[in-house]
Amino acid sequence: MNRQLILLTLGLILTIPVFQTPIFSRYFKPLQGLHVVKKLPLNMVAGSTYKWEASFVNPKSEEGLMNITLEVTEKKTLIGFGEFHVEGTLESYDNPPRKHYKSTLTFTEKNKNGIGIFQNQTSIKERFNDITLRISSVPNLMPGTYTFTLTVTLQYKT
Amino acid sequence: MQRKKMLIAVLAMALLVGVVTAAIPWFGQINVTTTISQAVLVDGKSYADMPIEEMATVAGGESFCRAHYLTSRTSVPVTLQFETSSSPASNEIHVTYLKPLGYEFTGTSYEIVVGQYYPVGITVEDGECKVTWTFDMIAGKTLVGDGHWGYGLAISLDGTNAAFQIHNNDGTDAKYAWGTHLYSEYTDTWHTGWNGIPPRTANNIPVADLSWVTCTGDRDIGDNPDGIFTVTISKCMLGEDFHWAVWFGVGGFYAPNNGYSSYPEGFMWQGTVDSYYVLANLAEVLTLPLTLQPKERLDFYICYKFDPLIEAGTYNIYTTIKPA
């Protein structure tokens, strides 16, 4: 009986982090409302700033912790630290009478396996949320095909 | 006992599912793939086509000019650095990066001796790597007779003394046919063979033998019915600024357009820059590193000068322009 209890406890402990990985999150709790409002242009110029706007509906009517991650990759080139710069704003609206909130999202570039990723953590509680990212690069960025991946995760206390 | 275990297991599973479900974060992801191109283009081309490459086979003393342009496509200022190297490496290749100032001049020749006014249309154009003087000898006049024209364009590079003159032979240098476009260097005096200088001291070089200057226009109206003469000089021979003066001679027509020398009464061919010379601000040397403003286009040219003592041969010269 003790052995079974230990196994069960161990299973519980292990299961939580396993299920928290993006693979499981993607399928078990997709943030289905996340969609692009303003597209990034398919052709960009190094040194310039471009807006990328995405919107989503808060799945719960309670305060949650939002993690935004922007990852930039290029097939042939390793992107150096400081080659991109990201700023953002969060605009939120609640249910009618639709009060409007606007806040600045500050992104910090962090090292992830030698690649810089941009992260921001903000709490949200309104129903409708609109994220606007302003992505700029250094003028001497190596020309190429770059992929921008925006990941939004929401975590609630309950 | 078995049933009790099953109940515990089911309860544990339910608890597990509840905890896990609560622990899984809501997850959303979007991505986009875009092509990012170069911020600044050189001659409309990107890095793949750089650097600017020139090949020159030289014996020493040559120079040549190449025009280029930069285009900023960004929304921020870009600081650029220029670098030039050669293969084989040589310290005897002097490279200057210059920004043209768009010099131009339009006017008529100077008023001559009272009662002998023969206006000549003069246009000076700042072209791509060259400056062109156009002399319109007819300029609306009705000329009668089988006449002819002469011109002499003097250039000063230091603003003090003349450096050379381009002219068409008026017959005083017997070595060349009348009307041949000639180059004469000014040293202690002119060596054109005319303008009061004894023909025996003439030391002219036909323009056709020089790579940096070209001339057009026949001396006689029969061969040149439009009366147009041009002198085109490479910018690399003129530097950032220079002075110029021009003289015209007319002969062989019936009155009233005959026998004039179209220059001011007080003008002297002494080879000293005076008030009759015109200052031409042609270019300014680029200050490096250079900052290109958003969406700015910058036209510039590169002067390549080969020292007279350079080892003769073929040189590949590479210039790279990159954000600093």
Domains of chain B: 40-101+283-323 (2.60.120), 104-281 (no CATH)
Tell me the chain A residues in contact with residue B74 when contact means C-beta distances shorter than 8 Å: 45-48, 139
Q: Do A26 and B20 touch (CB under 8 A)?
A: no
Hey, is the C-beta of A80 within 8 angstroms of any chain B C-beta?
no
- The answer to whether residue A61 neighbours chain B at the CB level (below 8 Å) is no
CB-side exposure of B158: number of CA atoms within 13 Å? 8
Q: Which amino acid is at B264?
A: P
Model confidence band, residue B25 (pLDDT cutoffs 50, 70, 90): confident
Task: Please report, for residues B40, B284, B298, the alpha-carbon distance to residue B71 in angstroms, rounded to integers and kept in the order given.
Answer: 6, 19, 7
pLDDT tens for each residue of A47-98: 999 999 999 998 888 889 999 999 999 887 778 788 999 999 999 988 766 7
Chain B nearest-CA residue for A27? B27
* Residue of B26, B28, B38 with shortest CB distance to A46: B38
**From B5, B20, B29, residue closest to A151, measured CB to CB:** B29
DSSP H stretches of helix in chain A: 2-19, 22-28
The answer to whether B286 and B82 are in contact (CB under 8 A) is: yes
For A10-143, strand residue ranges (E) read 35-38, 43-45, 49-57, 64-74, 84-93, 100-106, 108-112, 115-124, 128-137
At A30, is the secondary structure helix, strand, or coil? strand
Measured between CA atoms, how close is B70 to chain A, in angstroms?
14
Q: Is the pLDDT of residue B156 over 90?
A: yes
**Which chain B residue's Cα is nearest to A35?**
B30
Task: Give the Cα separation of A52 and A130 in Å (integer).
Answer: 11
Q: Does A79 touch chain B (CB under 8 A)?
A: no
Give residues 125 to 144 of A whose Cβ lies within 8 Å of B: 136-141, 143-144
What is the phi-psi region of residue B253: left when phi exceeds 0, alpha when psi lies from -120 to 50, beta otherwise? beta
Q: Looking at beta carbons, which residues of chain B come within 8 Å of A25? A: 24-27
Give B252's pLDDT tier (boundaries 50, 70, 90). confident
Helical H runs in B221-295?
none
A·B CB contacts under 8 A: 153
Q: Residue B42: its chain A contacts at CB < 8 A?
A: none
**Cβ contact, residue pair B34, A29, below 8 Å:** no
As annotated, the residues of chain A forming the CATH 2.60.40 domain(s) are 33-156
The crossing angle, in degrees rounded to 10, of helices B2-23 and A2-19 is 20
For residue A116, give how far its alpha carbon lies from the nearest alpha carbon of chain B (Å).
16
What per-residue confidence (pLDDT) applies to B46?
Answer: 80
A49 to B75: CB separation less than 8 angstroms, yes or no: yes
Q: In the predicted model, is pLDDT for residue B114 greater than 60?
A: no
Which residues on chain A are in Cβ contact (under 8 Å) with B47?
143
Q: Is it true that domain A33-156 has CATH number 2.60.40?
A: yes
Query: Which ipTM value was assigned to this complex?
Result: 0.82
Please name the member of A12, A34, A146 whose beta carbon is closest to the beta carbon of B28: A34
Does the CB of A8 have a partner CB in chain B at under 8 Å? yes
- List B246's β-bridge partners, or say none: B153
Better-scored residue on pLDDT, B51 or B54 = B54
Give B37's contacts in chain A (Cβ within 8 Å). 43-46, 143
Confidence bin at B305 (pLDDT 50/70/90): very high
Predicted confidence band at B165 (pLDDT cuts at 50, 70, 90)? very high
Residue A7: what are its φ and ψ, rounded to 5°?
A: -60, -40
Cα separation of B286 and B82, whole Å? 10
pLDDT range class, residue B69, cuts 50, 70, 90:
very high
pLDDT of residue B14: 67
Rounded CA-CA distance A126/A135 in Å is 25
Cβ distance B24 to A25 less than 8 Å, yes or no, reads yes
> B284 CA to chain A: closest CA distance, Å?
26
- Please tell me the distance from the alpha carbon of residue B248 to that of residue B263, in angstroms, as a whole number: 7
**Taking CB atoms and an 8 Å limit, are A42 and B46 in contact across chains?**
no
- pLDDT at site B238: 95
Chain B contact for A45 (CB, 8 A cutoff): yes
| Single-letter code of the amino acid located at A103 | S
Per-residue pLDDT for A42 more than 70? yes
Which pair of structure tokens corresponds to residue B267?
């003008």
DSSP class per residue in B247-259: EEEEESSPTTS-S
> Measured between alpha carbons, how far apart are the two ends of chain B, in Å?
79
pLDDT of residue B194: 57
C-beta of residue B165 within 8 angstroms of C-beta of residue B184: yes
State the nearest Cα–Cα gap between B42 and chain A, in angstroms: 14
Average model confidence (pLDDT) across chain B: 86
pLDDT score, position A32:
77
Global pTM value: 0.76
Q: Does the structure show a pLDDT above 60 at A103? A: yes
Q: Do B34 and A44 lie within an 8 Å CB cutoff?
A: yes
